[in-house]
Structure 1
Amino acid sequence: MKDIKWAVLGTGVIANEMAVALKKNGRNIYAVGNRTYDKAVAFAEKYGIGKVYSDYNEMFTDPEVDVIYITTPHNTHIQFMRRAIENGKHILVEKSITLNSDELEEMLELAEQHNVIIGEAMTIYHMPIYRKLKELLGSGALGKVNLITMNFGSFKDYDMNNRFFNRNLAGGAMLDIGVYALSFIRWFMDSKPDKLLSEVKPAPTGVDEQAGLLLMNKEGQMATVMLSLHSKQPKRGMVSCENGYIEVMEYPRAWEAKVTYTDTGKTETVAAGENADALAYELQDMESAISGDGDMYLEYTKDVMDMMTEFRRSWRFTYPEEE
């Protein structure tokens, strides 16, 4: 297969990380587009990118582009995804991939019609440590997974115009950080949780500032999640099993975990991958999926989106695009 040519839509933090990651993989971005042309030019100069679109819409019809990384805010994703898919472009989309399940289902059907690959840039599905831990659980050494407990909290100042609290930019804890916690849970559970309970504290703007979630699947595996955009917490995930437990710190971009065997008290550190290479792993897997021998775990992405949609529906929280 010919070299895969990447274009990136947006020039923010994630786009900068993507440029660095692609260089780690021995490649470079082919083209860049942004609403503000001058920002696209500066980005291209910084990373030695050969093509800058004077109108970012040209990206979707450029015959040289194979795959587009969409790094814009959540509520803009669907319009760009639709345009890319209809023009036969594969797409890697920053989390959360869409606003809700209906949007995602529409995109999955469209992608099937046009024979293109969709991937969500969800670190947890691609970093080596999570795959290694899943293999450990698959070995039966720890027994059945019974309970997963998650914490994810960051402190954001009460600036109601920034994207974290801005309803017009699809702000809120669920789509911004809850997506990581729920992806972690789905990765280690045998099936999607179908029983969901929650409590939510709204921000003054009407988005979810803080939430507590309780989930259970048909196998009886349970999970708890505490999310906050205005209270710092450790980024900690714990997978509790019949014969021991796994502690993962600094998820989603973890590189190691502590495993404790409760029958003997033995502990061990399991390590795999590098924190700094998180995005490089995603890009590699996306290219492999395009080539036909990789997996972007879209079924997990769909399950997580279903859960997020159900939680927000129970809170009666919507975004303008959903009304």
Structure 2
Amino acid sequence: MKEIKWAVLGCGVIANEMAVALQKNGKNIYAVGNRTHEKAAAFAEKYGIGKVYDDFHEMFTDPEVDVIYITTPHNTHLGFMKEAIANGKHILVEKSITLNSDELDEAIALAKEKGVIIGEAMTIYHMPIYKELKKILDSGRLGRVNLITMNFGSFKEYNMKNRFFNRNLAGGAMLDIGVYALSFIRWFFDSKPDQLLSQVKPAPTGVDEQAGLLLTNQEGQMASVMLSLHSKQPKRGMVSCENGFIEIMEYPRAWEAKITDASTGESEIIKAGDNADALAYELADMERAINGEASAMHLDYTKDVMDLMTSFRRTWGYTYPEEEK
């Protein structure tokens, strides 16, 4: 089997994590590109990467590159995705994969034409604990999933130049943290929610600072979500079933879950994987997809979640400059 060669676009926190994760999988990044060449060169020296592009666009036409991890801000993703796809490169894209459903639909259609794989770097679809919990639920032991409750809140100072509140950098709670909560819900729901209600509080810049979401699907499964970028909350998810419930803390990169039996009140802790290896699991699944197991990246779930986020933002009347052209 041909060795898959990775390139990374961007040299920020996620790119550093990616470099470490790939080494955990027994590989190394083949090439790196960045808007600032000096940063790319320093990154390459740090991780022993052999190739640095003078112009990062050369990454997209390099015949040696098989797959590109795009780690740049949300609002730059589509342009880079289209450039990569046009040159036959598979792409793993940092969440949120695009700004909205129209962008994602365009990318999916282009990728289908070119026969390349698109994946979103969404930890929830790749952490071993979620795969284990899916097996437990599929066994029928806990009965039907009826209700999911989600919390995710972090306190960010009102620095309107940072990406969290900056409209020009696609800031806001939905694309930054809501994507995790909705991905969690989609993982455990039988189908995509089709009834949506919400309330939102804007930040001074006009992006969504805080939101409450209610979702229901055609099977009658319900979920509630509370998000905030200016108020600390636990990263907690609870899946309520007929015969018990599952509690998961630090759910974006969870490694354990607590399952409580409804009839006895007894609890057990289920463990699988390591939160420190979150990106390593994503990269391994992306390689599986490239090698023929396309479902390993769960692009159908990514599409459903993007549809939900787009619907909520349209209801609020919240847009980004790229969406107003």
Give the drift of 1:2: 1.1
Aligned to 2:195: 195
Aligned to 1:298: 299
Question: 2: CA distance between counterparts of 1:131 and 1:184?
Answer: 12
Matched, 1:183 2:210: no
Deviations 1:137-170 (A, max 9, x none): 1111111000000000000000001000000000
Residue 223 of structure 1 aligns with an amino acid whose one-letter code is A
Classify the secondary structure of the residue corresponding to 2:230: coil
Question: 1: CA distance between counterparts of 2:90 and 2:2?
Answer: 15
Give the drift of 1:266: 1.6
After TM superposition, the structure 1 = structure 2 runs for residues 72-221 of structure 1, keeping only pairs within 5 Å, are 72-221=72-221
Matched, 1:255 2:255: yes
Aligned to 1:70: 70
Aligned to 1:315: 316
Q: Structure 1-normalised TM-score?
A: 1.00
Matched pairs, number: 323
Deviations 1:84-128 (A, max 9, x none): 000000000000000000000000000000000000000000000
Give the drift of 1:31: 0.2
Question: 2: CA distance between counterparts of 1:293 and 1:156?
Answer: 39
Deviations 1:58-108 (A, max 9, x none): 000000000000000000000000000000000000000000000000000
Give the drift of 1:293: 2.6
Residue 130 of structure 1 aligns with an amino acid whose one-letter code is Y
After TM superposition, the structure 1 = structure 2 runs for residues 23-42 of structure 1, keeping only pairs within 5 Å, are 23-42=23-42
Listed as ranges, the gaps of 5+ residues in structure 1 are: none
Residue 277 of structure 1 aligns with an amino acid whose one-letter code is D
Deviations 1:262-301 (A, max 9, x none): 1111211010000100000000000010001351000000
Residue 161 of structure 1 aligns with an amino acid whose one-letter code is K
Question: 2: CA distance between counterparts of 1:164 and 1:264?
Answer: 44
Residue 288 of structure 2 aligns with an amino acid whose one-letter code is S
Identity %: 80
Question: 1: CA distance between counterparts of 2:4 and 2:132?
Answer: 28
Residue 114 of structure 2 aligns with an amino acid whose one-letter code is H
Question: 2: CA distance between counterparts of 1:81 and 1:115?
Answer: 14
Aligned to 2:13: 13
Listed as ranges, the gaps of 5+ residues in structure 2 are: none
Q: Structure 2-normalised TM-score?
A: 0.99
**Cα RMSD (Å):** 0.5
Question: 2: CA distance between counterparts of 1:59 and 1:232?
Answer: 39
Question: 2: CA distance between counterparts of 1:313 and 1:55?
Answer: 37
